[in-house]
Amino acid sequence: MERKLDNYLPFILKSKNIARIEGDAVLIGDRRAYPFKKEFVVCHSVEEVAVAIETMVTQGGGPMQAAMVAMLFLAGRADRGHIKPAAEIFIRAKERLQVTRPTNTTMARILESLVDIICKEIESNNQLEPAVQGYIENFQKEYEKRYFIMAEIGSGLIEDGDGILTMCFAETSFILTIALALEQGKNIKIFSPETRPYLQGARLTAPCLMEIGADVTLITDSMCAHVMSQGKIQKYMTAVDIVTSDGWAANKIGTFQNAISANYHGIPYFPLAIDPDMTRRGRESIIIEERNPEEVKMIRGVPTTRSDMKAYYPAFDIVPPHLIAGIITPMGLISPYGLENVYMDKELK
Amino acid sequence: MERKLDNYLPFILKSKNIARIEGDAVLIGDRRAYPFKKEFVVCHSVEEVAVAIETMVTQGGGPMQAAMVAMLFLAGRADRGHIKPAAEIFIRAKERLQVTRPTNTTMARILESLVDIICKEIESNNQLEPAVQGYIENFQKEYEKRYFIMAEIGSGLIEDGDGILTMCFAETSFILTIALALEQGKNIKIFSPETRPYLQGARLTAPCLMEIGADVTLITDSMCAHVMSQGKIQKYMTAVDIVTSDGWAANKIGTFQNAISANYHGIPYFPLAIDPDMTRRGRESIIIEERNPEEVKMIRGVPTTRSDMKAYYPAFDIVPPHLIAGIITPMGLISPYGLENVYMDKELK
């Protein structure tokens, strides 16, 4: 029997709760409200979807899905005669969605493909919705396959009795890894650092793990090494935003210092990378985004210091390859020094 | 010209703002309100002082001073005939104050000395206040001397252009170190991690440093290693709660992982220890206090996750001697492996 991804996932990661069309609107799951409320932001235009992405209604893999659904929404409107099926309209929509997350190269690429498909259908005077729908379904089927490959590798690395440290919100690849480990009957404990300043660990990771029945403990970002020193951690696993072809991994700020502490304690670090970026090489190819330092001075809107305090908010940090035990990818568990061999030789099927 | 300690210190660290007698009350500077407000809690009895200490009105070196002032307050009441000058009353007050911070061995020792003095004066039918006042003045003069010795060592280690990382609130020994470095004309930048969950860095350290005119930047606890990797940190300096005779140092949670990251980046770590504990030996002699995990789930009263989430709050962690470059003490800059040689040979004068 085929396993269905959504059956393993908590509320906010189920495909329909990330973004879907309902009536004449795009509904986007509001991750800002979770875990306090399960809410959706209702968008009636591509512009409203773009603003929702910009205002962090969704994050991580969410913007990619929301952008695809926005294009499907627009295709439907063209098919039903609400707008003209003109290439310019779709190109403008693509461009608007791309600028919502300038560093999300996967989303940019998908939007390019989608617009290519749509433009061809327009030329052939075809309905647009079925082609877009088909693309999204194929895409999701492909990603579902990749997630299961990665989660099989990840759960295979986890042994009965293990303690696992994560960081930030590693979304489907990590949550599915844990779900499969639990299905395999493994007794595991997960430690989720709160991930200041945006609290993805406290708000997303820990509640999602709790929802799928995992034994999760929330800690502050300052406790990771101490918990390791108590023998409570055997594996360190996170998502990564970017992996370069020579094994440098960028992820949410704090990932790097946990990797140093893990190495110090002899704990292997396994980043989960669905899409290593073979166009980048070396630490210098990654630019660290700096966000509004005001966020460091408050927590969920409550100030923590003087309003005139100077603060600094680098959003990501970079882990060097020598601190990585192996990268979990859809192509297998790969040494950070071996990505080029694997990815240059084969095309991902 | 003799330097006066208070002239170098920010508001909350000035002796009179930690605890003082005013009229018929003990005023304790409220560190919970700082930096948003400069307030005092007014206590009319030893019991009220004890409750203030227990409810974190003051912390760090504050409880020790508040306890001494409480004994002075009681001595004054006895001298003026408001209470009987009976030994039992002072012994009971001592015991009540000691249990407010069971791990504060320095405060316990001072209270024992004070009660001994008071009991002798009672036997001799002398006024009590002058003796207590004399003890406190001597004690403060002695501490002032030690702080200047330590701050001279600390500021001597800081070079022009240095970036300095601290953790939690290292109080007078660290603030005076920075004040002297500034007086020496050194251009330095300090990074203060916010220190979750209680935010001592955001609420106390960073505002205090700003108040004395230092260039301070607030970061989250997750950013320390990243800031080091950017070459922004040349020295790591913190206070310590306990240093054992063989160089293990316990301090606020997070200190340990920063020491690991500092070591990884070749940055020396200098803890400031006014009173190494020669009665303890080895990591096992330090018991890590675990506090209410609810505090990990909220920030200044605002929840960060589900109310039924499991959380963990070890308040301190322990740095092994091999991660310590040298301990700044009133006896000099001492190797973590050399404390016994120095402290067993000489008596501190």
Sign of the torsion angle spanned by Cα atoms A326, A235, B315, A311 = positive
Sign of the torsion angle spanned by Cα atoms B86, B89, B93, B99 = positive
Short-list A132, A300, A114, A283, CA closest to A200: A300
* pLDDT of A300 higher than 90: no
pLDDT at A289: 87
Residues B134 and B168 in one domain: no
> Would you call B29 helix, strand, or coil by DSSP?
strand
**To 10 degrees, the CA torsion angle through A289, A291, A297, A299?**
-100
Residues A182 and A255 in one domain: yes
pLDDT at A103: 75
On chain A, the residues whose CB falls within 8 A of the CB of B297 are 202, 218
Residue B196 domain flag: yes
Contact (CB<8Å) B314/A256: no
Residues B83 and B195 in one domain: no
Domain end position, chosen among A143, A175, A201: A143
Residues B136 and B165 in one domain: no
Active site residues of A: 241
**Which pTM does this prediction carry?**
0.95
Specify the CATH number for the domain of residue A336: 3.40.50.10470
Burial class (CB in 10 A: 0-12, 13-18, 19+), A4: exposed
* pLDDT of A347 higher than 60: no
Q: What is the per-residue pLDDT across A315-339, written as a single tens digit (0 to 9) for each?
A: 999 999 999 999 999 999 999 999 9
On chain B, the residues whose CB falls within 8 A of the CB of A302 are 299-302
> Could you tell me if A90 and A116 are in contact, meaning their C-beta atoms sit under 8 angstroms apart?
no
Query: How many angstroms separate the CA atoms of A160 and A210, rounded?
Result: 19
Short-list A71, A57, A44, A48, CA closest to A18: A57
Concatenated DSSP letters of B79-97: HTTSS---HHHHHHHHHHH
> Would you call A268 helix, strand, or coil by DSSP?
coil
B302 touches chain A (CB under 8 A): yes
- Which tops the pLDDT comparison, A28 or B1? A28
pLDDT at A155: 98
pLDDT at A337: 98
Residues B226 and B252 in one domain: yes
User: What average pLDDT does this structure show over A202-219?
Assistant: 98
User: Which of B195, B302, B311 is the closest to A299 by Cβ?
Assistant: B302
Domain end position, chosen among B93, B120, B143: B143
Residue A151 domain flag: no
On chain B, the residues whose CB falls within 8 A of the CB of A317 are 223, 225-226, 229
H or E element in which residue B153 lies: helix B129-157
| Percent of chain A surpassing pLDDT 90 | 93
Total number of domains in chain A? 2
Residue B12 domain flag: yes
Residues B132 and B183 in one domain: no
Residues A225 and A127 in one domain: no
Residue A150 domain flag: no
Q: A161 falls in which pLDDT band (50, 70, 90)?
A: very high
pLDDT at A349: 44
User: Which of B35, B215, B253 is the closest to A222 by Cβ?
Assistant: B253
Please, what are the averages of pLDDT over each run of 10 residues along chain B (349 residues)? 90 96 97 95 98 94 96 97 95 97 87 97 96 96 97 98 97 98 98 97 98 98 98 98 96 98 98 94 93 94 95 97 98 97 72
User: What average pLDDT does this structure show over A249-275?
Assistant: 97
A202 touches chain B (CB under 8 A): yes
Residue B124 domain flag: yes
Q: Which two tokens stand for residue B272?
A: 């400031």
pLDDT at A301: 86
Query: How many angstroms separate the CA atoms of A341 and A331, rounded?
Result: 11
Q: What is the per-residue pLDDT across A69-114, written as a single tens digit (0 to 9) for each?
A: 999 999 999 999 999 999 999 999 999 999 999 878 889 999 999 9
pLDDT at A346: 65
User: What average pLDDT does this structure show over A202-214?
Assistant: 98
pLDDT at B32: 93
Domain end position, chosen among B143, B178, B202: B143
pLDDT at B104: 83
> Could you tell me if A129 and A79 are in contact, meaning their C-beta atoms sit under 8 angstroms apart?
yes
Residue range of the domain that includes B213: 158-345
Residues A126 and A226 in one domain: no
Residues A28 and A117 in one domain: yes
Q: Which two tokens stand for residue A302?
A: 């409550």
Rounded to 5 degrees, φ, ψ at A249 are -120, 120
Residues B129 and B258 in one domain: no
Least confident of A187-191, A210-214, B301-305: B301-305
User: Which of A191, A206, A306 is the closest to B309 by Cβ?
Assistant: A206
**Residue A285: half-sphere exposure toward Cβ, Cα within 13 Å:** 15
User: Which of A203, A261, A301 is the closest to B260 by Cβ?
Assistant: A261
pLDDT at A137: 96
CA nearest to A303 within chain B: B300
Contact (CB<8Å) A203/B304: yes
Query: How many angstroms separate the CA atoms of A50 and A55, rounded?
Result: 9
Mean pLDDT of all residues in chain A? 95
Residues A12 and A111 in one domain: yes
Q: What is the per-residue pLDDT across A4-23, written as a single tens digit (0 to 9) for each?
A: 999 999 999 999 999 999 99
Tokens 């973004």 belong to A19
Backbone torsion region of residue B167, taken as left when φ is above 0, otherwise alpha when ψ lies between -120 and 50, otherwise beta: beta
Specify the CATH number for the domain of residue A63: 1.20.120.420
Residues A83 and A114 in one domain: yes
Query: How many angstroms separate the CA atoms of B128 and B138, rounded?
Result: 16
Q: Which two tokens stand for residue A249?
A: 């991994």
Nearest CA distance, B300 vs chain A (angstrom): 8
pLDDT at A344: 81
* pLDDT of A348 higher than 80: no
A225 touches chain B (CB under 8 A): yes
Query: CB under 8 Å to B2, separation ≥6 — which residues?
Result: none
Nearest CA distance, B338 vs chain A (angstrom): 25
